[in-house]
Structure 1
């Protein structure tokens, strides 16, 4: 992993989930990554007491971190392992680890983190595109398997003319929290929409705020809770949008929420909204469904098939403000539908994303990789 700090958010949480799922199948797990703070180190060991951690000094920032000690260790130790599972692209830690695993002839699985989407490529600089062409593309072509988290992610990656079909697998990150039917008597006394995710342009928070006036025109007592934090300049832009549209009485910025406060907003909200421009999985959507909240999401959230299959909300066109507003109004007005999702959402999350279920999918992927590697070895003898 290029980063396993708590601040890395969803990728770190998903890695913990995958490791816990692997342990349900008696798979030994080793995690290699750049070093983290002492508090994060303690937290990771609490989350994964049975895993072995290998931390290495690093240099650089963000996607440009390098960790020479990690690469040296992997080169020496790779053959101890049945599979090397590399998480992430477009960063030296992940890219060179994948090349090392392949060079050492250890079956190497690569998880792109959603970075192969059209949206992500449209945001990449010329330097990043060159990096992919020179380094990541060749690793993806030679990897034993490519690990996608949704079928939509795999389908979108197929446009890159890399043959994924016969050596790819869809294994979602598991849901590690509780999935419980909420008490509808604990809901807020006003129609309440919850946005809970990182505050970033990719999430289309501006679009949500700009349509909120249409919702309030229909439901004057409605309130929007915006939970999350982000870059100071962008957060200020969001506050300015609220002021410009005169929405101050109906929009509350809650900042980053966790623990009891996070449980409270999920318990009291009526519905959840995430009209993102692109979402390679949508952990926040899964959190909402596990809490029994109907969701209003864009079609670019790759959990949309799960939402549609279980009828857990409304999928809207992120480019159509009227559609977003109509979706929010529809859910807020549908008391029977909200009560149905309160029952159906937690059950669907438990059935589809349990740690044990994902563990079974992981071991199936690894066994297929090992079987393929063995057959290739036999052909070469």
Structure 2
């Protein structure tokens, strides 16, 4: 998880000692790394442990045993994500050892996640052990929206903090001059998945009055991608959509720089790094209201927010984004400096360390 790596690396760079325990999981494959011993990665002490199941379970006795043996050696323990038995069991080990960790759910408590993919299993897990373990954690989330969603999980108030995720912007160089596109170009870059609401964007764009091009960057399951392509044929805008494939870290910044509007009409996003990346090069954003950073974008006037439950409303808001050329120009000129200030890694890292210090034994 990139945000975890960035936080760990930045904490080390700011003079702190950081140890990470993780498994060899790499999607469906396994990382080719030494297991059970310390590996130094950019100053971070990393221990990888073999997992014995795949999917989302990642069962790893070595991982849990290491936590059991050493968890009391640290000033602060920070768990990331939820629902995976690997992390739920890690939370149980922390409780057994008398440690109250911080938990960053990374969007795992939103309605969309709770009601899709193994809904019954999640309900059983949460009822049997989940809530009792969560009571023994401090909550950390990256946006106010995620805070509100997470607070609904427990009956009593869940103590914690809202601190933004770190985003890698050190090498970002906004273009001095943006070349005008001959056709208004909307861009999407992310995993192509039902959660991302790309079908909503395709339907809404099919109804706009202006000429446009939609560039879709990313990869997904072939069946779902083909389903979206068939939808575009039905909507009559297949000829306006370019499927440009996966982009690496350099290519994606160029991608943001060459589009007129970045669109993310997701059903839910706890944060969405892509929003910050787009704004960092001055490209305005068009977001569904269920994207965690939508309130930030609205407060800073860096884009347009829409209600994805109403396709006609999405279309109307796309018309606004197209016709409000002066606002797009303002965002292009002002957004890079705003993002550089608000998402400075050292500034955010200090927020994390200040929060950690409040939880350390006096």
Q: What is the TM-score normalised by the length of structure 2?
A: 0.91
CA-to-partner distance for each residue in 1:13-43, whole Å, 9 max, x for gaps?
11112112322432211111112555789xx
- Partner of residue 174, structure 1: 166
| Whole-angstrom distance in 1 between the partners of 2:145 and 2:197 | 20
SS in 2 for 1:32: strand
| Whole-angstrom distance in 2 between the partners of 1:168 and 1:176 | 25
CA-to-partner distance for each residue in 1:304-357, whole Å, 9 max, x for gaps?
111011101111000111221222222222222112111222222222222101
Give the 3 Å change call, closer, same or farther, for CA 292–112 of structure 1 in structure 2. same
Are positions 1:77 and 2:73 aligned together?
Answer: no
Are positions 1:350 and 2:335 aligned together?
Answer: no
1:299–1:316 CA contact under 8 A, matched in 2: yes
Q: CA deviation at 1:52?
A: 0.6
Higher RCO structure, 1 or 2 (CA under 8 Å, sep 6+):
1
SS in 2 for 1:185: coil
| Whole-angstrom distance in 2 between the partners of 1:357 and 1:185 | 29
Residue of 113, 124, 128 corresponding to 1:130: 124
SS in 1 for 2:91: helix
Q: Which aligned pairs between 1:195-234 and structure 2 lie closer than 5 A? A: 195-215=188-208, 218-220=209-211, 222-234=212-224
| Whole-angstrom distance in 2 between the partners of 1:295 and 1:122 | 28
| Whole-angstrom distance in 2 between the partners of 1:260 and 1:70 | 34
1:179–1:350 CA contact under 8 A, matched in 2: no
1:114–1:280 CA contact under 8 A, matched in 2: yes
- Partner of residue 96, structure 1: 89
Q: Which aligned pairs between 1:174-323 and structure 2 lie closer than 5 A? A: 174-177=166-169, 178-215=171-208, 218-220=209-211, 222-323=212-313
Q: CA deviation at 1:76?
A: 1.0
Residue of 89, 94, 113 corresponding to 2:106: 113
| Whole-angstrom distance in 2 between the partners of 1:327 and 1:292 | 20
| Whole-angstrom distance in 2 between the partners of 1:255 and 1:332 | 25
1:180–1:292 CA contact under 8 A, matched in 2: no
Are positions 1:17 and 2:6 aligned together?
Answer: yes
Q: CA deviation at 1:136?
A: 2.2
CA-to-partner distance for each residue in 1:93-137, whole Å, 9 max, x for gaps?
111111212222234111111111222222252111111222221
Q: CA deviation at 1:248?
A: 2.6
Moved over 4 A (4+): 36-41, 45-48
2:253–2:278 CA contact under 8 A, matched in 1: no
Give the 3 Å change call, closer, same or farther, for CA 187–21 of structure 1 in structure 2. farther
| Whole-angstrom distance in 1 between the partners of 2:184 and 2:44 | 44
- Partner of residue 6, structure 1: none
- Partner of residue 328, structure 2: 338
RMSD of aligned alpha carbons = 2.1
Give the 3 Å change call, closer, same or farther, for CA 180–264 of structure 1 in structure 2. closer
Q: CA deviation at 1:206?
A: 0.7
Higher helix share: 1
Q: CA deviation at 1:185?
A: 3.3
- Partner of residue 365, structure 1: 355
